[in-house]
């Protein structure tokens, strides 16, 4: 798979516009500011493919990228407290519509900040993925902000903090140093082939 050829395709802000798809999809999910867009950029080997911002709530739409033979799907982040109630409802409808329309979701890359225990919203999302039987792994972001010792400690703790954490693949990543990116690329290629 040629990761350098990933391109922006289209975005959807309201659920009524979002069509079902038979093309295989890799989904990036996680709370606002956790690093979804940064990770996607790093996997694609590009700096500005997906918009990155230190202001949470940057990606408010579902963004599709062509990543032959499928799509990468950057979901809008959840859990940003300052978002208006109507915005949260729009988010919920968009998610509901996305996950319940006809699609070929090969893998959900669920992002969790490696430094902290998963938030209540993270746990909701992970339980939603488990209950729905979606294939997923957890990418632990911003590993560069921890020392090697801290990383090892957090990895152990996270296995207990995440529902079914001992059975879920946990991949420490950094969009800054590139840690974990090759691992994710290999997994993505594998699930696209199947
Ligand atoms: P929303 O679009 O708001 O949902 O956020 P997002 O999850 O797409 O996060 P984004 O990629 O925009 O990154 C948020 C902030 O975290 C930015 O300031 C990034 O530079 C920073 N960041 C992302 N990944 C990493 C990482 O691996 N290491 C470090 N140190 N910072 C990171
Ligand atoms: Mg984003």
pLDDT of residue 107: 98
pLDDT of residue 22: 92
Q: How does DSSP classify residue 76?
A: P
Report the C-alpha gap between 87 and 77 in whole angstroms.
Answer: 12
Going from the Cα of 194 to the center of ligand 1, the distance in angstroms, rounded, reads 30
pLDDT of residue 25: 97
Question: Does the ipTM surpass 0.95?
Answer: yes
pLDDT of residue 80: 77
Going from the Cα of 29 to the center of ligand 1, the distance in angstroms, rounded, reads 13
* Chain position carrying tokens 């922006």: 8
Report the C-alpha gap between 65 and 149 in whole angstroms.
Answer: 36
pLDDT of residue 63: 92
pLDDT of residue 122: 96
CB-based pocket (< 6 A), ligand 1: 30, 32-38, 52-54, 56-59, 77, 141-142, 144-145, 174-176
Using CA positions, which residue lies closest to atom 29 of ligand 1?
A: 142
Pocket test for ligand 1, best of 43, 52, 79 (most atoms within 8 A of CB): 52
Packed helices 181-193 and 36-44: angle between N→C axes, nearest 10 degrees? 80
pLDDT of residue 57: 66
pLDDT along the chain (194 residues), means of 10: 94 82 95 93 92 72 94 90 82 89 96 97 96 97 98 97 95 98 98 88
Question: What 3-state class would DSSP assign to 181?
Answer: helix
Using CA positions, which residue lies closest to atom 10 of ligand 1?
A: 35
């Amino acid at each position: 798979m040629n990761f350098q050829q990933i391109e922006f395709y289209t975005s959807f802000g309201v659920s009524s516009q979002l069509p079902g798809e038979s093309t295989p999809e890799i989904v990036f999910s996680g709370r606002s500011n956790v690093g979804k867009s940064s990770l996607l950029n790093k996997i694609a080997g590009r700096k500005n493919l997906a918009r990155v911002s230190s202001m949470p709530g940057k990606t408010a739409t579902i963004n599709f990228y062509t990543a032959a033979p499928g799509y990468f799907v950057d979901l809008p982040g959840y859990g940003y407290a300052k978002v208006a109630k109507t915005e949260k409802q729009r988010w919920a409808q968009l998610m509901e519509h996305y996950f319940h329309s006809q699609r070929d979701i090969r893998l959900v890359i669920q992002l969790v900040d490696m430094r902290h225990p998963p938030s209540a919203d993270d746990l909701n999302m992970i339980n939603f993925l488990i209950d729905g039987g979606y294939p997923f792994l957890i990418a632990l972001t911003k590993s560069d902000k921890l020392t090697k010792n801290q990383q090892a400690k957090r990895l152990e703790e996270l296995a207990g903090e995440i529902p079914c954490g001992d059975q879920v693949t946990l991949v420490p990543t950094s969009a800054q140093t590139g840690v974990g990116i090759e691992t994710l690329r290999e997994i993505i290629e594998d699930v696209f082939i199947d």
